[in-house]
């Protein structure tokens, strides 16, 4: 019997995260949904092939417990969706607060890297693992007060290496990039060939 396809989604309790959980579950994935709000996570996972596990990407021990739970239940991961993220205020640099900058960098940059590093061993157990990093258009389009968001979106999307098969990594830029403006019909997906069993990721991204 073939192993099930397993997807992990962070920031899964609302918005894009919860929609991604439902979309992947409807396409046949067993989904592990992670976020801080257990009650909300349970609602998202109710009635679908998804499991709610509390996760705080800013807490290394929380990440360890989360990954251990995934490992014990499935033993591998096929897709990691790094969706957890926050935005705090829209101050100018002159008016910015250290605590706001620190929180955004901690969640949106360090949290993404921490989660990716921790899940890599399980991705390498897959026939072809994929990482989807959900970012913001503010990484490419300037808006007033978007200094930190612009920095983090550019650096995490342009310079991260993702795992691919036995090699355990891909070269920078070897992946897919989607642009979503709120209208599914206008979503643009630059998708390269995926291993068998993952082609439906393109459909999920373009919903």
The active-site residue, picked from 29, 74, 143, 151, is 151
Cα distance between residue 164 and residue 186, in whole Å: 28
Q: How many CA atoms lie within 13 A of 101 on its CB side?
A: 14
Q: How far is CA 104 from the centre of its chain?
A: 16
- Quick one: residue 26, left, alpha or beta (phi over 0 = left, psi -120 to 50 = alpha)? alpha
Q: Which of 195, 66, 69 is nearest to 126 (CA)?
A: 195
Q: In the structure encoding, which two tokens stand for residue 106, read together?
A: 């901690």
Contact 115, 53 (CB under 8 A): no
User: Any bridge partners for residue 82, and if so which?
Assistant: 133
Helix, strand, coil in percent for the chain, rounding step 5: 45, 15, 40
Could you say which DSSP state residue 180 is in?
Answer: -
151 a catalytic residue = yes
* Active-site residue list: 151
């Amino acid at each position: 019997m073939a192993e099930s396809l397993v997807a992990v989604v962070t920031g899964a309790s609302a918005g894009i995260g919860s929609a991604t959980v439902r979309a992947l579950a409807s396409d046949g994935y067993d989904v592990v949904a992670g976020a801080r709000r257990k009650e909300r996570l349970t609602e998202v996972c109710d009635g679908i092939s998804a499991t709610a596990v509390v996760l705080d990407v800013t807490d290394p021990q929380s990440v360890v417990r989360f990954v251990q739970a995934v490992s014990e239940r499935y033993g591998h991961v096929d897709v990691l969706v790094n969706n957890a993220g926050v935005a705090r205020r829209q101050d100018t640099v002159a008016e910015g607060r250290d605590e706001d900058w620190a929180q955004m960098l901690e969640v949106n940059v360090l949290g993404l890297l921490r989660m990716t590093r921790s899940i890599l061993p399980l991705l390498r157990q897959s026939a072809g693992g994929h990482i989807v990093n959900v970012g913001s258009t503010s990484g490419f389009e300037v808006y007033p007060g978007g200094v930190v968001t612009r920095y983090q979106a550019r650096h995490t999307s342009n310079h991260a290496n993702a795992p691919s098969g036995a090699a355990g990594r891909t070269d920078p830029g070897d992946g897919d990039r989607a642009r979503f403006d709120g209208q599914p019909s206008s979503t643009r997906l630059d998708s390269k060939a995926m291993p068998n069993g993952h082609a439906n990721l393109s459909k999920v991204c373009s919903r």
